[in-house]
């Protein structure tokens, strides 16, 4: 009887440990998507600094930043967003709201919008400062399209 209880306890602990939340699950996915967002922010910050006059406009650099952003937003990154990797399940490890998964068609629409504005910026960035400035508002609203409804505020 004692060995049955020990075996049951081991099975229970093993079962719990295999659950993503207990096994450190989604750590890689959350880390990857945070890194991807840093790539977005890094490249957008270069373009934004140029648009605000905080950095001199350089056509090659603006084009590189816009091209990098376009490549990043064009990635097939669904693997970074598994269901259950939200802030309700993972707490402070992520700011992604569960709403992101329950309203997926809206998320896909916002993602396509971001790709569209990134394509416009990539087509314009090397053509002058005015072209960068003209596309910054759309780029910001592209980011905000997901951040506002699907990301919890910082604590």
User: Is the distance from CB of 86 to CB of 100 less than 8 angstroms?
Assistant: yes
The 10s digit of each residue's pLDDT in 55-84 is 999 999 999 999 999 999 999 999 999 999
Tokens linked to 28: 């890689």
Domains and CATH numbers, the chain: 26-150 (1.20.120.10)
pLDDT in tens, 87-136: 999 999 999 999 999 998 888 899 999 999 999 999 999 999 999 999 99
CA atoms within 13 A on the CB side of 97: 15
Which pLDDT belongs to residue 14?
A: 46
Quick one: which of 60, 62, 37 has its CA closest to 48? 62
- The pTM of this model reads 0.82
């Amino acid at each position: 009887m004692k060995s049955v209880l020990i075996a049951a306890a081991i099975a229970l602990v093993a079962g719990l440990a295999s659950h993503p939340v207990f096994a450190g699950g989604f750590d890689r996915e959350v880390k990857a998507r945070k890194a991807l967002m840093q790539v977005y922010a890094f490249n957008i910050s270069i373009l934004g600094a140029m648009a605000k006059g905080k950095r001199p406009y350089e056509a090659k650099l603006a084009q590189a930043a816009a091209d990098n952003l376009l490549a990043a937003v064009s990635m097939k990154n669904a693997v970074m967003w598994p269901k259950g990797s939200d802030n309700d399940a993972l707490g402070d490890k992520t700011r992604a709201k569960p709403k992101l998964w329950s309203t997926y068609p809206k998320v896909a629409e916002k993602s396509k919008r971001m790709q569209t504005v990134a394509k416009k910026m990539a087509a314009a960035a090397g053509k002058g400062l005015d072209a960068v400035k003209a596309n910054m508002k759309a780029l910001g609203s592209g980011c905000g399209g997901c951040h506002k409804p699907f990301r919890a505020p910082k604590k």
